Amino acid sequence: MIMRKTSLILLGAAAGVAVTLIATQPRIVLDAARAQAAAADTYRQLSLFGDVFERVRADYVEKPDDSKLIESAINGMLAGLDPHSSYMDSKSFRDMQVQTRGEFGGLGIEVTMEDGLIKVVAPIDETPAAKAGIMANDIITHLDDEPVQGLTLNQAVEKMRGPENSKIKLKIMRKGQDKPIEISITRARIQVRSVRSRLEGDDVGFIRVTQFNEQTTEGLKKAITDLTAQTGDKLKGFIIDLRNNPGGLLDQAISVSDAFLEKGEIVSTRGRNAEETQRFNARAGDLTKNKPVIVLINGGSASASEIVAGALQDHRRATVIGTRSFGKGSVQTIIPLGSGNGALRLTTARYFTPSGRSIQAKGISPDIEVLQEVPEELKARTDTRGEASLRGHLKAEGDEQTGSQSYIPPDPKDDKALHTALDLIRGIQKNSAYPPNPKSAVPN
């Protein structure tokens, strides 16, 4: 009986397919004709490009560089898609790889440009620069006897980076010193610290994540372990600060979220075709042993930051505090184009939180909004306009939201979002959003 019924169902399905094919045969012919017409139109447009390219090469007032013409054409094509698709030449591709890898051969100093000069923000602990005595506020005037004046910040940084065990000579000016100081430093492997942590009082662990590179998850695990070891049973909870974190690697966003979750979906990515949908799920093991978690976000929290905030919010694993995030809900794939040709950065999917929310041009809304007082002179520069304000952005599903506040006061004493989080964890303040109710989470 069961076998027969199955046979009938299969026969019915096969018959249905046959009828469908017959019924749609004229349309198949029509579609083929349309496809041929579309292909012919595409070739005509490519022929037009070839004509323009040849005319520019032959008649432009100065002889143009062919490779630059092609690169500009590629950049123009990709810029017309969305703000996050782009072409990277071989140098930009290498720089991106260094950034996402989170380690490079160098000196270990954070620098900025001030009045055309390279100023040391701070040496990184236990690096060649720190061991050589480089200090915050030092002004770097020469690199290997060549003046820094006239270089861009990126050019100066590139000169300071180099192979491990190679040497570089720095000439610096230091306040209180009459003469320049010359220091010879041997480069070493430098790891970018994307995670910094500290104890607030003796009972709350504060973890700041500045970007999502290949070192981030390991840095987070170490921070949780160290903070737990320092406090023992006193630890009341964790604050994860993702403010002004522009994002980074998707797999790191997934593994950081997984650190706080026992099960359930973390994020899904959906491409042009339904079969390209991917779902990423948490594995058992909450590294915090289910301690309370608060996530801080603002208008500068984008992409991977929004994946983490959205996953922990949907699962009611964390309370999200601050201002609405940036709203970059798309995934870019890096496609190398062969030796010396750089790479294509192409938007290939949108991502969705566990409840099926698209963040694109909307962002994550905090459970508790906390606005920060901004100094008058900074007001014009501290609001992030968000994804929705970028020209050519992928449209949202439904209403779009503009950006929000992204100012973080330099002194933690003035940080309202931080103090709200601390007061909630310590029970000084009460709010219905804290602690979150796991029973109202999205189904696993």
Do the bridges between strand 204-209 and strand 237-241 make them parallel or antiparallel, or are there none, so unpaired?
parallel
The Cα–Cα gap between 194 and 210 comes to: 5
Which of 82, 138, 258, 314 is catalytic? The answer is 314
Which of 171, 236, 328, 362 is catalytic? The answer is 328
The Cα–Cα gap between 312 and 207 comes to: 15
The Cα–Cα gap between 427 and 444 comes to: 30
Numbers of helices and strands, H then E, in the chain: 9, 19
Answer yes or no: 303 catalytic. yes
Using left for φ > 0, alpha for ψ between -120 and 50, and beta otherwise, residue 73 falls in alpha
Answer yes or no: 314 catalytic. yes
Strand segments, DSSP code E, in 271-361 are 278-281, 293-297, 319-322, 330-336, 343-352
* Residue type for position 349: A
Which of 303, 325, 330, 406 is catalytic? The answer is 303
The Cα–Cα gap between 373 and 409 comes to: 9
For residue 417, give the nearest of 387, 372, 378 by alpha carbon.
372
C-alpha count within 13 angstroms, C-beta hemisphere, residue 396:
20
As annotated, the active-site residues are 303, 314, 328
